[in-house]
């Protein structure tokens, strides 16, 4: 789920300006009375707080008890040349600590972490077994179109909060990543290339009982469970024309996809009842269910003339009631509601002082 790398170039050396401030809890460091980190139109957000202050931080997800955050970050000051997995204990982590606890090995590239039941371990994907170095990033195409590498060396791991791997959950040739866990705590959904196409699968949290969910040509990924654990929301490309199909298959053979035209789909956990939720054009992705289960929040650039501006939107499960949630000038994505429904976390380019930094923000949610 490293789609943001398509919009934001890899970062140079950054100043982690927040590290030298006075001691205080990270999630309360900024004055919130004036709510200066939100735009006036953002009526669903209140008391917006900034969690990180430099680097490329994204895909932050809550623990089941809403007390911790796990996320991925590229930050050379932290020693992360490409994405590694970190976490915050929101009640204990302090801003004067420069680097949050590292959960991944620090080798290879990681992506898509998520807390496991019990809040004492996480699942994430990593390339570290194949190579300790960061994998190669494809060169920018001469036609200007973005591509995303599908590293065949990604596998999914279960690790504890001290950086130890408990178990390798996948061990098949090709891409296995983008794992998230059901609120019921019984199954994991993930994307895999094991069939020859990028499809969704589920498995038990110990890696057993793997079941295929989707089977249509195109990239199916970034899936999340509904609050009751019965449905999945995900992004998908669906090449239809002969030319689109040819391009899709050629790129996939090279270990790449072009995720610039994606819509949202919803289905039951077993793949039945599949329906397309959006038909907006451009890139619609990073969906997550509203805590009531009747709506989905997601990131989209469909309203951006040149496609560079991403904001959060909300839509009903029947495809009606599209509403813009954030009004950033550049990039808002990766939203997740806390399990109690009171807060939301997301990644944003807001308040980055004109840099390319992507930081994490938490806000109170107002229905």
Over range 16-39, report the average pLDDT.
Answer: 48
In 3D space, the residue among 343, 275, 337, 331 whose CA is nearest the CA of residue 307 turns out to be: 331
pLDDT band at 3 (very low <50, low <70, confident <90, very high): very low
User: Minimal CA–CA distance to 55: which of 70, 71, 35, 39?
Assistant: 71
| Residue 253: inside a domain | yes
What is the b/e burial string over 211-222, where b = at least 16 CB atoms within 10 angstroms of the residue's CB?
A: eebbeebbbbbb
Model confidence at 38, pLDDT cuts 50, 70, 90, reads very high
pLDDT, position 182: 98
In a domain, 48, yes or no: no
Contact 274, 212 (CB under 8 A): no
Widest pairwise Cα distance in the chain = 60
Question: Does residue 287 form part of some domain?
Answer: yes
pLDDT score of 21: 29
Residue 241 has pLDDT above 70, yes or no: yes
In order, the DSSP letters of 133-172 are SPPPPPPPPTT----EE--TT-EEEEEETTS-EEEE---S
Q: Render pLDDT for 98-144 as a digit per residue (tens, 0 to 9).
A: 789 999 999 999 999 999 999 999 999 999 999 999 999 988 888 87
> What pLDDT is stored for residue 94 in this prediction?
63
The answer to the question of residue 209 being in a domain is yes
Task: Say if 37 falls within a structural domain.
Answer: no
At residue 145 the predicted structure's pLDDT band, cuts being 50, 70 and 90, is: confident
Closest CA to 344 of 286, 277, 290, 266: 290
Counting the structural domains of the chain, the total is 1
Q: Which domain holds residue 227?
A: 3-26+54-323
63 Ramachandran zone, left/alpha/beta (phi>0; psi -120 to 50): beta
Is residue 320 predicted with pLDDT exceeding 80?
yes
List, in order, residues 6 or more apart from 59 with CB less than 8 Å away.
1, 71, 72, 111, 112, 113, 334, 347
* pLDDT tens figures, 159-208: 999 999 999 999 999 999 999 999 999 999 999 999 999 999 999 999 99
Residue 92 is predicted with a pLDDT of 79
- CATH number assigned to the domain comprising residue 206: 2.120.10.30
Give me the pLDDT at residue 79, please. 94
- CA-nearest of 237, 284, 257, 288 to 114 is 288
CA distances from 326 to 49, 142, 253 (A): 15, 33, 37
d(CA 223, CA 298): 12
Provide the mean pLDDT of the chain.
Answer: 90
Whole-structure pTM value: 0.91
* C-beta pairs of 81-86 under 8 Å, 24+ apart in sequence: 81/134, 82/109, 82/134, 82/135, 83/2, 83/56, 83/109, 83/110, 83/111, 84/110, 85/110, 85/113, 85/122, 85/124, 85/159
Q: Could you tell me what percent of the chain has a pLDDT over 70?
A: 89
Assess if residue 301 is contained within a domain. Answer: yes
Whether the Cβ atoms of residue 41 and residue 315 lie closer than 8 Å to each other: no
């Amino acid at each position: 789920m490293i789609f943001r790398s398509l919009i934001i170039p890899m970062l140079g050396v950054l100043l982690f300006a927040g590290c030298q401030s006075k001691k205080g809890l990270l999630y309360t460091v900024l004055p919130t009375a004036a709510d200066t980190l939100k735009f006036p139109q953002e009526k669903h957000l209140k008391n917006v707080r900034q969690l990180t202050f430099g680097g490329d931080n994204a895909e932050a997800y809550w623990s089941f008890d809403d007390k911790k955050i796990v996320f991925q970050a590229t930050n050379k000051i932290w020693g992360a040349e490409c994405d590694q997995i970190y976490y915050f204990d929101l009640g204990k982590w302090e801003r004067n600590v420069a680097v949050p606890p590292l959960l991944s090995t620090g080798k290879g590239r990681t992506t898509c972490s998520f807390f496991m039941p019990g809040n004492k371990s996480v699942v994430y994907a990593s390339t570290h077994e194949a190579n300790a170095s960061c994998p190669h990033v494809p060169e920018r195409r001469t036609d200007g179109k973005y591509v995303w590498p599908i590293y065949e060396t990604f596998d999914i791991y279960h690790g504890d909060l001290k950086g130890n791997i408990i178990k390798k959950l996948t061990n098949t040739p090709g891409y296995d990543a983008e794992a998230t866990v059901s609120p019921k705590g019984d199954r994991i959904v993930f994307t895999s290339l094991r069939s020859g196409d990028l499809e969704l699968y589920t498995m038990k949290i110990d890696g057993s009982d793997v079941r295929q969910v989707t089977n249509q040509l195109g990239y199916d990924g970034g899936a999340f469970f509904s609050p009751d654990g019965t449905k999945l929301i995900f992004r998908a490309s669906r090449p239809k024309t002969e030319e689109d199909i040819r391009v899709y298959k050629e790129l996939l053979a090279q270990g790449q996809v072009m995720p610039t035209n994606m819509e949202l789909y919803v289905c039951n956990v077993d793949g039945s009842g599949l329906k397309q939720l959006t038909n907006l054009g451009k890139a619609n992705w990073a969906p997550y269910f509203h805590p009531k289960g009747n709506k989905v929040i997601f990131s989209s650039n469909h309203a951006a003339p040149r496609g560079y501006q991403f904001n959060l939107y909300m839509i009903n499960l029947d495809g009606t009631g599209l509403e813009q949630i954030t009004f950033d000038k550049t990039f808002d994505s990766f939203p997740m509601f806390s399990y109690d429904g009171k807060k939301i976390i997301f990644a944003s380019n807001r308040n980055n002082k004109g840099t390319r930094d992507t930081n994490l923000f938490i806000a109170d949610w107002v229905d």
